[in-house]
Amino acid sequence: MVLRSFGCSGLRSRLDHAMELADRLRELAVGDPDWQCPAPSRYPLVCLRYAPRGGVGSGTDLDDLNARIVKELNDSGEAFVSHSVIRDGYVIRVSLANIHTTADDIERLWAALNHAAEKCR
């Protein structure tokens, strides 16, 4: 059904756009010393980990902090993110699959992530 609706070139264009948005979110995280992007990928699925410069204690404490950020952000209604646990620990997963997501949405998501992180810190 998706292929019929968009065609090969339309589907490719939408995937390219989602990958550009994911790259922008990764750039924002890599450019901020309090955030990590521990699972680099070309795909529109971004794993983030908040690890403030001053530290919060053990890796378990960071896991708990990131879990609280997910809950805070989701409860706020600003965005919906999920999580995963990888070798580095608990990460915030952002999936960019909605064809209506824009660069402005990524900037708002980044601001909301930082707001949630500050509230949970």
Q: What is the DSSP string of 64-121?
A: HHHHHHHHHHHHHTS---EEEEETTEEEEEEE---TT--HHHHHHHHHHHHHHHHHH-
What pLDDT is stored for residue 9 in this prediction? Answer: 83
Q: What is the pLDDT of residue 3?
A: 62
pLDDT at 19: 96
What pLDDT, on the 0 to 100 scale, is given for residue 11? 73
Q: What is the pLDDT, as a whole number, of residue 13?
A: 86
pLDDT at residue 25, rounded to an integer: 98
The two tokens of residue 36 are: 């990590």
Cα separation, 9 vs 49, in Å, equals 34
Which pLDDT score is estimated for 1? 61
The answer to whether the beta carbons of residues 88 and 50 sit under 8 Å apart is no
The pLDDT of residue 102 is: 97
Q: In the chain, which residues have pLDDT < 70?
A: 1-3, 57, 59
Task: Report the predicted TM-score, pTM, of the whole model to 2 decimal places.
Answer: 0.90
